[in-house]
Amino acid sequence: MIDKLRQITALDIYPASVQRGDNGTYFLGRSSHAGGGKGTAEKFVGCADCGPGACLPNVRKVGEIDGKCVCAGPCDHQNAVALRKLLPWSAPRCLGLATSTGFGDRLGLATPGHIRAVRGTGIAPILAQQSIREMTRTARTPELVIDCATYGTIQEGFTDGFGSDADHLQKPQDIAATVEAGFTQFTIDPGAQVDNAADTMPPAALAEKLAQLDYETLATSPGDLRAAYAGKTFALAGGDAVSIGEFAFLRAAAKYGRAVTHTVAMFRCLQQTATGPFELEVSVDETDTPTTAAEHYFFASELRRLGVTWVSMAPRFIGRFEKGVDYIGDIDAFAADFARHVAVMRTLGPYKMSIHSGSDKFSIYPVIADLAGGLVHLKTAGTSYLEAIRTVADIDPGLFRQILDFAREHYDADRRTYHVSADMSKLPPAAELSDDELAGQIDDFHARQALHCTFGSVLTADGGKRFRDRLYAALAAGEEAHYANLAAHLGRHLKPFER
């Protein structure tokens, strides 16, 4: 069958993609001409021996096999929508409390490598994950993010099921756009409503903040809210307890009260907008100050009281979770603090502890896996882009040199929305590096963060004109090397969490 399809379509058919549906056979192939700058432009989807209503909508007949029609067409949105109905495993679904990992894919090319990393681990993957911020920076749409994951699962014949995460949503209009595209998980980010200054405010200022909360949404009064927490000790799972004194209550309410009301409003918007099952993640990780166990308890308890249900939560942990590099901080202190958060989670949940900026935090993965058991969601994104750039270093050293120098020049501007600390004075110009040294730059602290933060500038605007088409062409030429790099690097992430 595969050989016949190759002859008729003149495509290099991906063997695992040849899948039988209820009323037809579907496949994915690649033309001999690679590139195009759109990620899937050189790939085509096809169908054969299709019964009524089972043929893809945007294909044309290219031949016959044993008298039965074979059609092929572009890997576009129209065909992706049809495939998700004809092959239901190629559509995202809810993952529940299964140990899971999120794979961000900034280029729309990484899904096959992500599948190779996760297959056989027992970990449920989210293969379509991107924030509105990243979509804007990469000139992608919610529909394209889902479609790339669909075609990647078909290419690899991955029928185990996967999720999709509309990450870091902050506005109601973002919910509408991602619901329409077919996302199944929605990460609400009320970080802008977290009052980081509360950590250093005196009691009188905190009390003033308490009085200003939206009590209509909170469905309580200042006095009742205080009576529910201040001076109370709450037993936690595993025999621990969290005590919330008057000052701790004031700080928790002032710091997270507005985040509670924002999350409630977003959740209710999602309930009204969703057309099918969905899951919620709540994230307060992109804030300046850590979330204490008492604050976690207050935040989660208030959400639960107000009817919000969620599958995972990402507090702001102690230490530094910088992009693209290992954990920075005292690991023993992190373990003790994380254990307290896990106890709160088990008491008020269960739900999964979500580890944001989770890429490359190898030193603390064993701690997280040991303390949280299977109730973990590990979220990665930029590290996959870095593996693409690693691949480029081997395939097109000249292009890599230009991207590296471009990253050095644009890092200070592009770093503003990230927690990073790379120093460009410690990153040599590309001209000072031999070809043999280029790929090794991907493992350098300063180069990793420079490349990580500047992906948007590389892919769009002036950088896009210079690099985008060449970058996609290089990765198309080195497709298998790209997948191998992804599988090896992400597989290392997942090893401690295998079930």
The Cα–Cα gap between 260 and 374 comes to 27
Close Cβ partners of 184 (under 8 Å, ≥ 6 residues apart): 92, 93, 94, 163, 164, 276, 277, 278, 279
Angle, helix 246-273 to helix 203-211, in steps of 10 degrees: 30
Q: Please give the Cα distance from 453 to 322 (Å, whole number).
A: 11
Identity of the amino acid at 474: A
Catalytic residue chosen out of the listed positions 49, 195, 281, 414: 281
d(CA 325, CA 484): 21
Contact 42/34 with Cβ under 8 angstroms?
yes
Distances (CA, A) of 403 to 53, 86, 157, 424, 438: 47, 41, 34, 14, 11
- Tell me if residue 279 is catalytic: no
Residue 281 designated active-site: yes
In terms of DSSP bridges, do strands 100-103 and 376-380 run parallel, antiparallel, or are they unpaired?
Answer: parallel
The span from the CA of 151 to the CA of 27, in Å, is: 10
d(CA 386, CA 451): 7
User: Could you identify the residue written with the tokens 């750039």?
Assistant: 389
User: Annotated catalytic residue: which of 167, 285, 387, 396?
Assistant: 167
**Residues taking part in catalysis:** 167, 281
